[in-house]
Structure 1
Amino acid sequence: MLIKQHLVFIFILISAFGQAQYDDQSTASDSSQFLSLIYANRDLTYFTFFDGVGNLPNMVTEARFSGSYFLKNSKVNWALELNLNMTLRILDKKSYPIPPPSYNPELTYYRLIRSSNSGVLSKLLFKNAYWEISLGHHSNGRAGDFYKADSLGNETRQIDLRDASFTTHYIELGYSTFHHRKNNAGQDFYTNLKLALRVLPALMATEELNDSYGFYRAFITYNIFRIPLGNLQNSSGFFSRSRLRFHAGWIFGDVFNAAANEAEKRLVGEVTWFYFPDWLAEMGFFVQYYYGQDYYNLQFMRTMNTFRIGISSNPLNFSGFRKFLKN
């Protein structure tokens, strides 16, 4: 109960702080271009080559289709995004079966935070920043009983991974700040820090998930765009078209057979490197290591530990990003 109270308090505090930092005198230029920052952090469409190296079942691919639709006017300091996320896995078995996909649509409201030009804290945290609030749904589109029945029709404690109903809803509050930086050699690069808190109301989830899924989550993400390595003179070189993403999270609340401090069940960690070549404008390549709860519907009982490669959509126009972020 104490954890719940703390999370609610943090939500209210971040929301109020974000509103307090906003300056209604923001310029049209700022409000029209902060969509570049939002776009940089959006969920990417991707597919993997097979299942990678780890403990996932043998697969042909895992693919996520992330279609974003924005409502944004150049003269306002907010944006609204509808993202129709869907993730599916194609198993490497006869006829290549597809388990029930993950349906994960999100509606997100973004609000620009305008920094005052004084104060070290303001320049560090609010120079190019926004806060966001999302309403999300995650389900597998099934309506069957959660547990399988035995030959006599009695319920067992074995989850029906094919037909059981899996449904959750959530609200997530996040804060992102971006910075334009230079290394000692004078190379430009960009960093992004994102903090997020997610609550999944128990009344809006499949009842059997109450003591096993973990309904309170905290995340931190750090991105480096245009990795500052390589030839200073070559602005379109290998590292200047790369992105490095570090993501970590912790699952609070009741998790099946997990103590409150059991990292094996509660920790989420991810490191992903992306490369976006000029000759493949809309797509890029990625290499990823992921550890943590499996995000694929009823597979949440598995702790994923996998290394994989794949192809993803390109998150942003690097040249447009450069024009917006100031020193």
Structure 2
Amino acid sequence: GWGGAQAKGWHVDYDLQTQLFLDRTYLFVSPNRIQRQGDPDSPAPLVFEGQFAPNLFLPQLRRDDFKQDGRETLFSLVFTPNIRLRMLNTDSNPILPPSYLPKLTLQAVHLRLFHGPDAAGPPRMLSLGLNVIGGHYSNGEDGCFFANQTGKDPNCEPAEGTLPLNEITGSFSTNLLRFELHGRLGFNVDPHRVSAWLVGANAFYELNSSIGPGGMSPAQRQVYGNGHWGLGLVGERAVNGNRFRLEGAYSHPFGETPHQRGTLSVEAAANPRWASGFGVFARYVRGQDYYNILFLERISLWQFGLVFDLNPGPRLKTDGDKPPGFQ
């Protein structure tokens, strides 16, 4: 950054932003099949699925310097053009309508080192994050929402459709406002070697909106719901910049008719330092399908593949053996 030599006070980082509590990029396969109403090949084998979510930072505002003070507060504005793709092993139209989820995240993060029970032992680390997200979620289709309707959205007949959904060409679109809270506690922290034990939790609350272009229609709101809430737990071991993560998440819609069950996922991942952010992962997902208009389909999926998640450790790595702020 260009904050100058002083650690105290406010600084602007133009080219070395710290990435925490943001979306990851995934590319994976699954031995399980994908179900779609109205597809004669359903359930169909999955060739691959991907979530492509580069996090594009504007200049990051920072108070203090973790490397010198052992504490740091960050304010970020991040644009993420999140796109999800599914390709099925079928003779025609193998790529399903993509999920487009562009979003703008206003993020506040606080990092701090502090003494553990043994003042002479390795320090602990606390990281807290708040994300306020505005986004849009759609599949780019213009077909009618319900399978018994004809025409193009929003000019569909009959005007009041009934289930099942048109899962082949049906339009799915909503704007959203999402709030996320994240927390991590690190034990046996070694900022010089980028090693630690980490445990943490997160929670989110998401509201669907009909305001603005691409807002949710009344018909979709009745079935998809007013929003979602969710909780997550994570444990991670970092050793010399190599990361090993185990994470669980649960989410549930609210305000929907008919009632939908929640979705549970468990993920294990390994990101070696030499892979520059790339790693391998395995995940199990059970509950409602998360892929746009397929949200009424029940899934039980094993997923295996690559994950890309930049390591914030090098940005926070210190040069000396003594923890910053403990001199």
TM-score, normalised by the number of residues in structure 2: 0.71
Cα contact 2:247–2:266 (8 A) shared by 1: yes
Decide which of 98, 101, 106 is 1:101's aligned counterpart.
98
Match of 1:137 in 2: 136
Cα contact 1:244–1:271 (8 A) shared by 2: yes
Decide which of 245, 267, 272 is 1:272's aligned counterpart.
267
The runs of 4+ residues in structure 1 deviating greater than 4 Å are 26-35, 153-156, 321-327
Match of 1:188 in 2: 196
Deviation sequence 1:256-315 (CA, Å, 0-9, x none): 2x2xxxxxx331211101111344223110000112221111100112211121111133
How many residues get paired?
Answer: 274
Cα contact 2:60–2:77 (8 A) shared by 1: no
Match of 1:301 in 2: 296
Establish whether residue 199 from structure 1 lines up as the match of residue 246 from structure 2: no
Decide which of 154, 159, 179 is 2:165's aligned counterpart.
159
Q: Within 2, Cα distance between the matches of 1:188 and 1:100?
A: 41
Cα contact 1:28–1:74 (8 A) shared by 2: no
Unaligned runs of 5+ in 1: 1-25, 118-125, 228-234, 259-264
Match of 1:248 in 2: 250
Structure 1 pair 272–154 and aligned structure 2 pair: CA distance change class (3 A): same
Superposition RMSD in Å: 3.6
Hey, which of these two has a bigger chunk of strand by percent?
2
Structure 1 pair 99–305 and aligned structure 2 pair: CA distance change class (3 A): same
Match of 1:311 in 2: 306
Q: Within 2, Cα distance between the matches of 1:81 and 1:75?
A: 15
Establish whether residue 210 from structure 1 lines up as the match of residue 221 from structure 2: yes
Match of 2:50 in 1: 63
Match of 2:24 in 1: 44
Q: Within 2, Cα distance between the matches of 1:282 and 1:288?
A: 18
* Deviation at residue 319 of structure 1 after TM alignment: 4.3
Q: Within 1, Cα distance between the matches of 2:111 and 2:54?
A: 28
SS at the partner of 1:266? coil
Q: Which amino acid in the other structure matches residue 104 of structure 1?
A: L
SS at the partner of 1:298? helix
Q: Which amino acid in the other structure matches residue 229 of structure 2?
A: A
**Paired-residue identity, %:** 21
SS at the partner of 2:222? coil
Q: Within 1, Cα distance between the matches of 2:271 and 2:51?
A: 18
Q: Which amino acid in the other structure matches residue 245 of structure 1?
A: E
Q: Within 1, Cα distance between the matches of 2:283 and 2:324?
A: 27
Cα contact 2:17–2:57 (8 A) shared by 1: no
Q: Within 1, Cα distance between the matches of 2:127 and 2:245?
A: 19
Unaligned runs of 5+ in 2: 1-6, 36-43, 64-73, 115-124, 151-155, 190-194
SS at the partner of 1:43? coil
Q: Which amino acid in the other structure matches residue 81 of structure 2?
A: L
Match of 1:6 in 2: none
Structure 1 pair 326–196 and aligned structure 2 pair: CA distance change class (3 A): farther
